[in-house]
Structure 1
C-alpha cells in the first residue's frame, strides 16, 4: 500500500514520468563526487544530457566571491564519460564530468551549467524540471504533462566548502512533534467543538509550557513545534510574517519562556520554517500583485502561463504562492528571519518544510548562515523524494526526515504487506546507501501530521503500535514521536476517505493518559532506555535469525550489547539460537531471565534482552 507521504511518487505513472523527465534535456540536480567536498579537496560535477538534446559542449560557469555566475565568468569544461540507455526516455543518455580544483575553507562556490547544441546555442540546466512535470500531473490529472523545457531560465547551484556537520547532541536526540493548535490550551479543560478539523481549536504556547513535564517524561530531548508565525489557518504553513508569533498562540515572550523552560529540562526546541511559499495574504505578495513594476514582483513566479492563478503556487494551492528563493532579496529575508529566531529567542534549529522546493544554492547560503549564528543548531529537511535525491542534500543540510524508513516500518508493522525478512534487507541496504548518522541525520517516525496515524493504519492494534515503536527506538537515527501516539490518540477517518490532511490532527485527548496508562509507561520506558543503554542507538547490527515474521539480532555500541527479538504475528513463536543462553535481564519488564537457548514470544511481541 502506498501512503500519502509519497504523493508525488504514489503511482507507477508518476514514477515513470519522473524517470523520463530526469533522463531528458540537461540535468545536474546538484550531483557531486564526493557528496560534500572538504576544504582543499578537488571534486567533480556530474551532468547528464538526453538523447533529444545532442549537446556539443557543456560548461560550468562559476564564481567564488559570492557574485552571480554568467557565461562571461570563469568556465570549467565537461568531458563525456559514459553513455547508458534509458527505457523511460527510450534513448541514450550521456554522462559528463567536470573536475573542480580544490577550494579553500569558507568558499561559497556558486555555479551555473550551460550546454551548447549543434547550432551553437547555449541552454541552461536543469531542464526540463522533473518535479514540476510530476506536480502538474498530480494536480491537474491526466496521463502526462508537457515536459516544459525552459532553457532560458538557469538553475542556480552552489556548494559551501566547510566542515559543517550535525551537532553532537543530535546523536542522543528523541524528538517530540507538537501541532500547536491541537496540543494544549492555556488552562485545563475540554476542547471546543468547531464544525470541522479545518477550524481553530485554541492550542497555545503557554499550553505547551504546561505540558513540558509530560514531554520530558517520554525521554524527549528535542521539541518540534509546528509553524507559529502569523497565519490565517490552523496549520500555519502559509505565513504572513516570518518575524513574529501568531497572536492566538501567544507572544514572542511566551516562546522565549517556553525555550528557557525546555532548556532547563534538557529539551532543545525547533521551529518549523517554510521557505518554499508564503500565504497569499502576505503583504509582500499583495504588493507584487498590485504593482507589476515593483521589486516585490521578483519575489514570486507571476506570469499568465501559470494557470489557473497567474502565479506558481505550492501544488497549485491558490493561497500558497511560491517564493523565488534564488532572488537575493528573498534569500536575505528568509535568512534574516532564521538568524533572528536563533539569536533573539535561542531556538535550536529548524525543521524545513518542503525542502526540495528551494534550490540547493539557497540551502548552501541558508546553512552557512545558521551555522554561523549558532554552530550547534540542527537543520533537517522534509524531502519526500527518492533516496538518490535525499542524498544530494549532504553538504547542504544536517539531514532529512527518513520517509523511506518510516514507510518501511508502516508496510511491515501496520499494513503487514512486507515481511521481517524484507525489512532486514531493506535496513542493511538503506543504511549502506547514506553516510553515517554522525555525518547526515535521518530522523525517523511512524507517523506525522500529513499521514494517517500509525494506530489507524494498524486497525487500532496497540500491540502493533508497541512493536513498531520498539523497532523505531532501537535504530541508530533519532526517533520522532508525533503528539498523542503515546496515549493512543486516534482519528475518525482515513486520508483516502476525502477528508483531507487534517484527519490525523485531532486535538490531544489528555484523558487518554489515564485510560491508556500502560501504553504511556511503555513509551516512557523506551525513552529512558534510549538514553541509558548505548546499544539502543546501535553502531552495528548483526542478524542471528530472521524469518517472514520473527527476528533475533544483536545491537552493539561502545561495548554495550542488547538482543532484539520480534514476533509480528498473533500466534506465539519460539526462537532458538545459541546466543540465547545464560543470564539476562528483560529491559522492558526489568525482570531477570535464565535462558537455555530459546525464547518464546507471545503474539505481536518484542523483547529487549541484556546479558548480565
Structure 2
C-alpha cells in the first residue's frame, strides 16, 4: 500500500509535458519563492519555483514542520499566497502555510479555474531546467574584486564627494568593451520595497593587459546613500553582466558578499542583476569614541533580579501592575520556573506576555558589582517604561518607569550607581507603536477618558487622535486601526504627525530628552525599519543636540548600511554577526559564514563597524546554547559540547571589532529556545538556581583579554589571512602592536601555515600558550579544538 501511495504522489507531482494541457504561467513573469524561517523569509534562488506547463515546482530539502508563505521578491499582495486558519494555502490568508517534511521533496503549486491555490508535497521527482552554460572564455576570465586595490580604490564605505576608480580585465583576447553602471538604491521598510534608479552609465577606457584587455573608469559620488554598481561587458560572443556573487547574507534580501565577481549572461530583466553595493556616508559622520570600548550586558529586566518584592505584580492586588489590560496578571510561584507559554499545558491562561517573576530596577542596582565583574561597561535594558506586558514594548507611559520596576528616581539612581562603576546605561523603546492599554489609546478604560480609542470607540476629540490612523467605516473595532504587523495590542503610530513627533523628540521635555536628562547614555530604538527615514534623521539631530556623546543604536536584522550614513544611527544590533558566528561555532564552514562579516567590513563605515552591537543571544531569538543543539531536557554530553561551542563563539566575539554583547545568563549557562523560553530568569543561587561557575570564569577571562589588549578593540581589520572549513586567522594592528587571532570550530586541533605581515620575530600567546616564531613572513599555528589563540607582537 505504501509503494502504491508513493507512486500516486510521484505521478501527481511529476510535471506533464502534454502540449494541450499547458497553460500560461498564472503569475506572469514573476518568480515565486518559498519564504519562511527556513531562509529568514528572504527570496532566495534555492527556494525559487520553476513554472513548467501547468504548475509551479520546487525541490526542497527540509525536516519537521515548516511554516512559510509563497511570494515574489517584493511581497506583491496580488502574488502572495499565505495560509488559512488550518495552514492551507489561501490568497489573502491570515497566517502561514504549514507542511511537514522529512528530507528531499518536490512541491507542486497549481491553481483551480477560480484561482484557488493547491500545494502538493511528495517525493522528489522534479528535474529543474539546467542553466545554459557559458563557454565564452573572454567573459569567463574577466575579473573584478571589490576588495583588491588593483580593481577598486579606495576600499569600502567612503564620505560623500569621494571619487572611486573601478577596473576590470582579463588575460585572453575577446573583451571588446565595458560599461560601468552606477545606480542608487531605494529601500523602504523591512526590505519590502527595494529597487535601483539609474545614476550613470560610464564607458570604460580600454587599457593594454598582456594578451587580454583591461578597462577602467572613475565616478565621483557626491550625495550620501547606498549605491549599486556592476559592469556590462561585451565580447565577440555576446553581452554579459559582471556582478556580485551569489552568497546569501543573513536576513538580507539582496544576495552577494562582494569581493570577486561572477559573470552571467545579461538578463532581459535587469532587476535580476546582483549589484555590488557602495556606501557613501556623510563626511562628518562621527560615533562616540567610547563605543568601540564597550562590552554590553544586555538585560530583560523582568527576568534578571527581584530587588524589591513589594512592587511585584500580583493577581487581585488592585494596583496598575496587577492588571493586564482587562484581567489579572499571572504570577509565578517560584523564581526559577519556566516562563508560561499558552497552549503548552503549563496551566497558564490563553494570553501571552502577562506572566511575571518580579525583576526590577532595584535588582539591577543590587547586581551592578556582579555585572562589572563579568567585564561589562555598558548596560542595555529592554524597555522599563510603564506598560502592561512583561516585555514593555506596549508602552502605556513613556515618561514613567513601570511601577513593577520601581520609580523614575530609581532609574536616576541606577544610572548614577552604574556611572560610579564605569558603566553606561542605554534604555530601549519603540516610537513606532504604543500599547492599546495606555492613556494615548485607552481601549480598556484603565485610564481617564481622553484616549484616541476610549473603550474601543474612536474619540476624535482626544489630544492623541492624530497619533493614529483610524478607519471609522469598519464595523469591527479591531479593523478600525492599524496594529503593528497586525497585532491589535500594539496600535501603530502615525509617525508623520507633528504632535507625535513633538512628544517623541522635538519638545524640550520630549521622551527622548527626558531620559537623556536623567542619566541615559544613549538610546536603542525598536523596529527601526517601520519608521520613516526622515523621522530618524530629525530624531538623531535631537539626540545629538541634547548630548553629542550619546550613542544611537538601531534594531535592524538585515544589512543596515542605509542606517549608518551619519544621518540616522551610530550602530545597530548585529544579527548578521550573530547568525554568522553561531553557525560557524556550530560547525558550519568558516569560509562560507565569514563572507557575511566581510560584507559588513566593506559596506559599513569603519566608525560604525567598530561600534556594532555584536550579539550571540537575544530576547527575540533562541539562546546560543539552544542554537548549539542543547535542549532543556538534553543530556550532560550535549550540554558540555554546546558550552564548548558557546565558549568558541564568545572568543570570536571578544577578539573581533565592535561591541561584544552578553545576554544576561549566557555567562552561566542559561538555556532556552524561542520566545518566551529565551527570557527565563537568571539562575541566582539564593533563588534556587545553579550557575555554571566554570563557564562564568571563561567569560570573565575573555572580557579581561579584550580590555587588556586595546588592539582587539581598536586594531585595523583586513581580509582573513586564512579561512577554510574550520579555521579563521585574522590580523589586527594598533600602532606598533600586532595581534594574530585564530579560531577553530573543529572538535580536533587544526594546524595551519599562514603568511603574516611581519618578516620575523616572536608572537606571544596572550592566553599563556607557547610562543610562535615568525620566519620569512610565515607562521605555523596549531589551534585548539573549539577555541582559539591570540598572538601578540609589540
Q: Which residue of 2 aligns with 1:556?
A: 733
Sort the Cα spacing of 1:262 and 1:80 in 2 relative to 1 into closer, same or farther, 3 A. closer
Which residue of structure 2 lines up, in the alignment, with residue 129 of structure 1?
none
1:457 paired to 2:596: no
> Which residue of structure 2 aligns with residue 177 of structure 1?
298
1:422 and 2:595 aligned: no
**For residues 520 and 305 of structure 1, do their structure 2 counterparts lie closer, same or farther at Cα, with a shift above 3 Å needed?**
farther
- Which whole-Å CA distance do the structure 2 matches of 1:366 and 1:560 have between them? 39
Q: Which residue of 2 aligns with 1:53?
A: none
Q: Is the 8 A contact 1:542 1:555 kept in 2?
A: no
| Residues 441 and 452, structure 2, Cα contact 8 Å, conserved in 1 | yes
Deviations 1:169-228, CA, capped at 9 Å, x for gaps: 112111110110000111799616487164101001010011111111122111001101
Unaligned runs of 5+ in 1: 25-33, 39-43, 50-77, 84-98, 103-133, 135-159, 496-500
Contact preservation (8 Å) 1:577, 1:598:
yes
Matches within 5 A, 1:105-504: 163=284, 165-186=286-307, 191=335, 193=337, 196=340, 198=353, 199-286=355-442, 287-289=451-453, 290-303=458-471, 308-335=478-505, 336-343=510-517, 345-387=518-560, 389-390=562-563, 394-414=566-586, 416=587, 418-437=588-607, 441-460=611-630, 461-491=642-672, 494-495=673-674, 501-504=675-678
Cα 1:6–1:376 shift into 2, 3 Å:
farther
TM-score for both structures, normalised by structure 2: 0.56
Q: Which has the higher helix share?
A: 1
Aligned counterparts of 1:257 and 1:490: Cα–Cα separation in 2: 31
- For residues 288 and 404 of structure 1, the distance between their equivalents in structure 2, rounded to whole angstroms, comes to 39
Matched-pair contact (CA < 8 Å) for 1:179–1:505: yes
Q: Give the Cα–Cα distance (whole angstroms) in 2 for the partners of residues 5 and 448 of structure 1.
A: 19
Q: Give the alignment partner of residue 534 of structure 1, picking from 689, 710, 728.
A: 710
Equivalent pair of 2:286/2:566 in contact (CA under 8 Å): no
Higher strand share: 2
CA contact (8 A) 1:325 1:359 kept: yes
Determine the C-alpha separation between the residues in 2 that align with 1:485 and 1:438. 26
SS at match of 2:718: strand
Summarize deviations over 1:483-512 as a string: whole Å, max 9, x none.
111111112xx33xxxxx212000001249
- In the alignment, the residues of structure 1 paired with residue 680 and residue 595 of structure 2 have an alpha-carbon distance, to the nearest angstrom, of 35
- In structure 2, the residue matched to 1:67 is none
1:237 is displaced (CA, Å) by: 0.6
2:405 counterpart SS class: coil
Offset, 1:600: 3.0
> Which deviates the most, 260-269 or 575-584?
575-584
Taking the aligned partners of 2:709 and 2:766, their CA distance within structure 1 comes to: 9
Give the Cα separation in 2 of the matches to 1:260 and 1:3: 44
The residue that corresponds to 1:58 in the other structure is none
Q: Which residue of structure 1 aligns with residue 257 of structure 2?
A: none
TM-score, with structure 1 as normaliser: 0.71
Q: What is the CA-CA distance between 1:398 and the residue it aligns to?
A: 1.6
Deviates more, 1:283-292 or 1:361-370: 283-292
Check if 1:593 corresponds to 2:771: yes
1:419-462 deviation line (CA, Å, top 9, x unaligned): 11123433223210111125884211112000000111102311
Q: Name whichever of 278-287 and 532-541 sits farther off.
A: 532-541
For 1:518, the equivalent position in structure 2 comes to 694
- Report the Cα distance in structure 2 between the residues aligned to 1:162 and 1:251, rounded to whole angstroms: 42
Q: Secondary structure at the match of 2:471?
A: coil
| Cα separation, 1, equivalents of 2:43 and 2:434 | 26
CA-CA distance at 1:382 after TM superposition: 0.4
SS at match of 1:301: coil
- Three-state SS of the structure 2 residue aligned to 1:312 is coil
Structure 1 residues 557 and 202, CA gap change in structure 2 (3 angstroms)? same
Structure 1 pair 585–100 and aligned structure 2 pair: CA distance change class (3 A): closer
Distance 1:549 1:453, change over 3 A: same
Preserved contact between residue 352 and residue 382 of structure 1 (Cα < 8 Å): yes
Cα shift readout 1:97-118 (whole Å, capped 9, x = no counterpart): xx9999xxxxxxxxxxxxxxxx
Gaps of 5+ in 2: 1-34, 49-68, 80-156, 162-181, 188-196, 203-220, 225-252, 254-280, 310-332, 342-352, 443-450, 631-641
Residue 303 of structure 1 aligns to a residue whose secondary structure is coil
Deviation digits for residues 494-536 of structure 1 (CA, Å, limit 9, x no counterpart): 33xxxxx212000001249975222111111221222221221
Comparing 379-388 with 240-249, greater Cα deviation is found at: 379-388
SS at match of 1:481: strand
Measured after TM superposition, the shift of residue 384 of structure 1 is: 2.7
Larger Rg: 2
Number of equivalences: 486
Identify if the C-alpha distance between structure 1 residues 398 and 598 changes in structure 2 by more than 3 Å, giving closer, same or farther.
Answer: closer
Q: Provide the secondary structure at the position in 1 that maps to 2:730.
A: strand
Q: Distance in 1 between matches of 2:282 and 2:432?
A: 24
SS of structure 2 residue aligned to 1:401: strand
Residues 80 and 397 from structure 1, CA distance in 2 versus in 1: closer, same or farther, beyond 3 angstroms? closer
Question: For the structure 1 residues 348 and 387, does the alpha-carbon distance in structure 2 shift closer, same or farther, using more than 3 Å as the test?
Answer: closer
Contact conserved, 1:225 with 1:271, CA < 8 A, in 2? yes
Relative contact order: is structure 1 or structure 2 higher (C-alpha 8 Å, sep ≥ 6)? 1
* Distance in 1 (alpha carbons) for counterparts of 2:199 and 2:600: 30
The 1:528–1:376 alpha-carbon spacing in structure 2 relative to 1, beyond 3 Å, is same
Deviation of 1:161 (Å): 8.6
Deviation at 1:380, TM superposition (A): 0.8
- Give the 3-state SS of the residue equivalent to 2:371 in structure 1: helix
- Give the 5 Å matches for 1:49-88: none
Give yes or no for contact 1:398–1:440 (8 Å, CA) kept in 2.
no
Q: Structure 1 residues 15, 183: closer, same or farther in 2, change over 3 A?
A: farther
Distance (Å, rounded) in 2 between the aligned partners of 1:452 and 1:48: 32
Q: Compute the displacement of 1:323 (Å).
A: 0.5
8 Å CA contact retained: 1:587, 1:610: yes
What is the deviation of 1:554? 2.0
1:547 aligned residue (724, 729, 735): 724
Cα 1:264–1:508 change in 2 (3 A) is same
How far, CA to CA, are the matches of 2:698 and 2:393 in structure 1?
Answer: 33
